Structure 1
């Protein structure tokens, strides 16, 4: 386990969900929720890439929330092939948006590998719901790291989405990411000389995400 604040549990659609909250040095500029890799392949919220995404957002001033999908760690329930895991993420978002400290602030979603698929699905559902109900918050940012395009039907995403991929990804090959991104005209940031888990390149990944967030903040 990577050093982090103690976890807590909140109510979820299939029972309790285990979450970890990391706060920036000052009042948050927004809320970020991140989804972890495939639960049946050892994925948890303590994955190093998930941790790196949280650190980048916290350094950019966001409150970062990570959680364990149903059936992982202290989260109750059982694997649901991505359907229930998406509702888990939506439940975590809804719970934290009730905090008055976040009222009127932007929402960002992020995900790694299978979690990238889940984050993209959650983004689409939240955006559609917000279009029909003005009181709901649509995500303003989406960050996907090696989303599982070779294994799942990852939906189209907004043109401002940050997609980061390892050049030598052995789990979700770069060619699959490009096949998914090409019809959307979606840029992909490729980190040379690294695989799916960004071994030895986590600092590079953090800086790529941090630069993106700071550039967006500078233009908003």
Structure 2
């Protein structure tokens, strides 16, 4: 998977990108957890999301937020990281101008950033949010949520209580025309230490269903 360097709003951003061999392949951007807790693009959950999209024929980018790894800048409480994500999506779209669809996926802090990106980028067709930190951050900006998506949560999460995620899912699901595929993974903590196969299976199933639904739409 080739290393790429992206011009971000606060300097260079380090990423890993795999270009699909499928013509007009859909694209996906994958966002990592909180840098203050050691989050990077090489996090196991992030890598699993990345590989699952790759195996489904997407062109996929994951990258380090500002101040992480070889990415320049310093942590900016989410505001700068959202700008980083927007720049990364711009880069991905520049290399894939005829992409059939655009997705965003994020883990923990990255899920919060990804869902903010949804509100700014109407071209995003769907999202996958793993362990969204609904107990730590305000998700009220999702009013209304622009697209349907998937939320995955461990039922033994020691950082984000399942009840807070369930409350967010219920709120989103009650919005008009929004369907949330909520997958609760038994025994999984915040980092899915022993449940990566279950996580990958849930993500793969949702991506496959999304691709099938898109293919069935009249052209």
TM-score (norm 2): 0.89
State whether residues 30 and 102 of structure 1, in contact with CA within 8 Å, keep that contact through their aligned partners in structure 2. no
Q: Secondary structure at the match of 1:140?
A: strand
The number of aligned residues is: 205
Q: d(CA) in 1 for partners of 2:15 and 2:42? A: 11
State whether residues 2 and 18 of structure 2, in contact with CA within 8 Å, keep that contact through their aligned partners in structure 1. no
Q: d(CA) in 2 for partners of 1:158 and 1:73? A: 32
Structure 1 residues 167 and 25: CA distance shift in structure 2, 3 A: farther
Q: d(CA) in 1 for partners of 2:109 and 2:61? A: 17
Deviation at 1:26, TM superposition (A): 3.8
Query: Which runs of structure 1 show a deviation greater than 3 angstroms over 4 or more consecutive aligned residues?
Result: 23-28
Q: d(CA) in 2 for partners of 1:139 and 1:87? A: 16
Q: Secondary structure at the match of 2:163?
A: helix
Q: CA RMSD for the aligned pairs? A: 1.5
* Alignment pair present for 1:54 and 2:39: no
Deviation at 1:82, TM superposition (A): 0.2
- Superposition pairs of residues 30-45 of structure 1, within 5 angstroms: 30-45=26-41
Q: Secondary structure at the match of 2:152?
A: strand
Q: d(CA) in 2 for partners of 1:55 and 1:28? A: 19
Match of 1:177 in 2: 165
Structure 1 residues 205 and 167: CA distance shift in structure 2, 3 A: same
* Alignment pair present for 1:114 and 2:124: no
State whether residues 24 and 59 of structure 1, in contact with CA within 8 Å, keep that contact through their aligned partners in structure 2. no
* Alignment pair present for 1:219 and 2:205: no
Deviation at 1:53, TM superposition (A): 0.3
- Superposition pairs of residues 184-203 of structure 1, within 5 angstroms: 184-185=172-173, 186-203=180-197
Q: d(CA) in 1 for partners of 2:55 and 2:40? A: 22
Match of 1:133 in 2: none
Match of 2:132 in 1: 147
State whether residues 93 and 99 of structure 2, in contact with CA within 8 Å, keep that contact through their aligned partners in structure 1. no
TM-score (norm 1): 0.88
1:55-74, Cα deviation, whole Å (9 max, x unpaired): 11111111110000000000
- Superposition pairs of residues 121-140 of structure 1, within 5 angstroms: 121-127=116-122, 138-140=123-125
In the alignment, structure 2 segments of 5+ residues that lack a partner are 174-179, 215-219
Q: Secondary structure at the match of 1:188?
A: strand
Match of 1:209 in 2: 203
Deviation at 1:27, TM superposition (A): 4.0
